[in-house]
A = this chain, B = another copy of it.
Amino acid sequence: MSAEDNLLKLVEVEEPEEHDYLLQEQVGFILRKAHQRHVSIFAAHIGDLTPPQFAALAKLRDVGETSQNQLGTLIAMDAATVKGVIDRLKARGLVELSKHEADKRRLLVNLTAEGRDAIERLIPLAREITQETLAPLSAKEIATFMKLLAKLA
């Protein structure tokens, strides 16, 4: 290889052509597809609840009664989004709402008995969903991936 070739190669590596932008290699695009695949796996295992609805129930199981806003923070949903999710869970009798005695602004959310039964019943399925989502990776790869993904989230 000539000196000119080496120089050219170096220049190419350090200053890539403006035309070689490949959508399918961008992290955002792949992230969106990976998320889509997960949601699809979720729906195949748990047909009557969405991932956000499941997240709300699972978090209420962890922390018990909380305000709607606080629950939203815990499951990474803004106030407008969490309201819709809770409304639908309430309509199905899985959560119940009550007013905070001291702070009249707050709307408390809690599992109903039916909601508690539902989440306990669904958690084994959720484990399968996690497993199937990660199935393309080896155990070692899963550990690495989860560590790096957590850094990005």
Contact = CB atoms under 8 A, between A and B. Distances in A.
Nearest to A30: B153
Interface in A125-153: 126-127, 129-130, 133-134, 136-137, 141, 144-146, 148-153
B144 A148 contact: yes
Contacts of A123: 18, 21
A153 B59 contact: no
Copies in the complex: 2
A102 interface: no
8 contacts: A16-B62, A23-B55, A28-B42, A28-B133, A30-B150, A31-B149, A31-B153, A137-B148
Given A27-B133, A144-B144, 15 more contacts: A21-B58, A23-B55, A28-B42, A29-B75, A30-B153, A31-B35, A31-B38, A32-B35, A34-B153, A37-B153, A136-B152, A137-B152, A141-B151, A145-B149, A148-B148
